[in-house]
Structure 1
């Protein structure tokens, strides 16, 4: 019973090694390398997006905890009143008027 068992085990290892060798050879072709590179790029992009989303969420949490204004460009106003709206470039304040 020992010889048939070793024969089957050897055949199984041979089939496994042949399949692994075929996969390795396929991975080293131009198409295989291109696919692997695209996979890395997609993974890196997804990772960067998740990091960005986590950073934004944490920033929002910290701003809420500290009672800060929402992020963005703060409005520069005088005494709570809105700045005057300009309708055309000629409405801009003139400098050095005498």
Structure 2
């Protein structure tokens, strides 16, 4: 996995699949409210968190999955990535 892949924007189909997957798991576990609060609190740090995922990949990648970490990092790097995730969780909760 090259560094260039981390800096590319997510294709729309992969972005929608990732948002749907995360939102479904959050709602399924009954964590909608805590997840939305955490996302809102950390929204200003989203880009920094996306960059730190590059450094954390060797540690968490084998457990979580390299592709999932990369996709989530790329989602956080997008200016509206956190907002899209919050909206998707809210839509699934209602």
* TM exceeding 0.5: no
TM-score range, shorter chain: under 0.3
Q: Give the TM-score normalised by structure 2.
A: 0.26
Q: Give the TM-score normalised by structure 1.
A: 0.25
Higher helix share: 2
